[in-house]
Amino acid sequence: MHNNVETLFANLWQDYVAMTPSALKVHQLLGDGDELINDHVAFRTFNIDKVGLEKLAAHFLALGYEEKGQYNFEQKKLKAKHFEHADDTKPKVFISELLVEEFSAPVQAIIRKMVDAVPADAVNKENFLYSGTHWQVSSEEYQTLLNESEYAAWVSAWGFRANHFTVSLNHLKRYTLLSDVNDKLKEAGFELNTSGGEIKGGPEVHLAQSSTMADKMEVRFSDKSLVIPSCFYEFAQRYAMPNGKLYTGFVAASADKIFESTNVGM
Ligand code: OOG
Ligand code: NI
C-alpha cells in the first residue's frame, strides 16, 4: 500500500501516459502549461475475491478515501462503487468489477485462469494499482472474451492500471463549456466517444461528461501481437444541486456509455 496520495496518483499517471500517448497531447492542448485538476480516475477488475473491487478499494481506503456511491450496469454485467477523499481537491475514484458468474463457461474459464495466475500477495503491494497483467492469454482467448464482453477483453490485455483520468472542467482555466472542449479536441484530430451523444448527461443530472476513444497500442499475446484499444481521457463538468452543493456522484446512464470508450471500433 502507498502511504501518500500524491505519490500514488503520480505513479498511476506515469503508467497511464505510457499506455495513452495522446493523454500528454490532450494535456498540452487544454492546459497549455497550467496544472490540470483530475475529477476522477477509474479502474476495472473482476468480481473474484482475490482481485475484486474491494481489493483495489483497500488501497484508497488506507489513504483516507471513503465509499460514497454504488452503481449497477445490468446489460454490461458490471457493478461499481465510487470513493471520495475528505480533501475535495483529491481525485474521486471509480472502481468497477465484472460479474464473472454471468458469462459463458469458456469465458469464465479464461478469467479464472487469469486470476489464478495472480500471486497471492500481489494485491497488497504498493504497485498493485498500476501492475498491469499477471497472466498470459492467447489472441484467441482475447477474442473469446471480446465476443461476450469488451470489458473482460480489455482487462485481459491491460490488467490493473488506471483506465482513464478525467479533466475537471470546473477547475479548467481556459474553457468553461464542455462543448468548447469537445470542439477543440475534434479540431486537433481526436476521436470522441459518440455513444449516447458526444455529451453524456448535463445540468439536469448535475454532471456532464465526454471522452476520447481509447488510443490503440500493440499488445503481445502468448501467440502474437495485436493493436487494440488501450486507455482514454475523460472530461467532466459538475453542477450544483438544489441545495447549492456541487454534485459529487456518478450517473449510471452516462457511465454506461463511457465504458464504451475502449470499444474496438473501425
Ligand atoms: C468506467 C466508465 C464510467 C464515468 O465517469 O462515468 C466512468 C470505465 O470505463 O471503466 O468512468
Ligand atoms: Ni470516468
Taking the C-alpha atoms of residue 45 and residue 80, their distance in angstroms, rounded to an integer, is: 10
Q: Is 36 helix (H, G, I), strand (E, B) or coil?
A: coil
Q: Which of 166, 234, 238, 248 maximizes ligand 1 atoms within 8 Å of its Cβ, making it the mutation to test the pocket?
A: 234
Among the bound ligands, name the one nearest to the CA of residue 163: 1
Number of domains in the chain: 1
Task: Give per-residue pLDDT as tens, 190-209.
Answer: 999 999 999 999 999 999 99
Q: What are the DSSP E strand ranges found in 187-258?
A: 200-202, 207-211, 216-220, 225-229, 232-238
In this predicted structure, which of 27-31, 32-36, 44-48, 59-63 has the lowest mean pLDDT?
Answer: 32-36
Taking the C-alpha atoms of residue 239 and residue 192, their distance in angstroms, rounded to an integer, is: 22
CA-closest residue to ligand 1 atom 4: 255
For residue 179, what pLDDT band results from cuts at 50, 70 and 90? very high
Per-residue b/e over 214-223, b at no fewer than 16 CB within 10 Å?
Answer: bbebebebee
Rounded to two decimals, the pTM is: 0.98
Q: What are the DSSP E strand ranges found in 62-125?
A: 65-73, 78-85, 92-98
Q: What number does the ligand 1 atom closest to the CA of 258 have? A: 2
For residue 266, what pLDDT band results from cuts at 50, 70 and 90? very low
Among the bound ligands, name the one nearest to the CA of residue 69: 1
Q: First and final CA of the chain: distance in angstroms? A: 39
Domain at 19, CATH number: 3.10.180.50
Q: Are 1 and 59 in contact (CB under 8 A)?
A: yes
Residue 149 burial class via C-beta count within 10 angstroms: exposed 0-12, middle 13-18, buried 19 and up:
buried
Angle at 245 between CA 242 and CA 248, to 5 degrees: 110
Domain span at residue 149 reads 5-262
H-type helices in the chain, by residue range?
A: 5-19, 21-31, 53-61, 105-116, 139-148, 150-158, 178-187, 252-258
Taking the C-alpha atoms of residue 142 and residue 233, their distance in angstroms, rounded to an integer, is: 23
Residues paired with residue 121 on neighbouring β-strands, in sequence order: none
Task: Give per-residue pLDDT as tens, 95-127.
Answer: 999 999 999 999 999 999 999 999 999 999 999
For residue 32, what pLDDT band results from cuts at 50, 70 and 90? confident
CA 234 / ligand 1 centre spacing (Å): 9
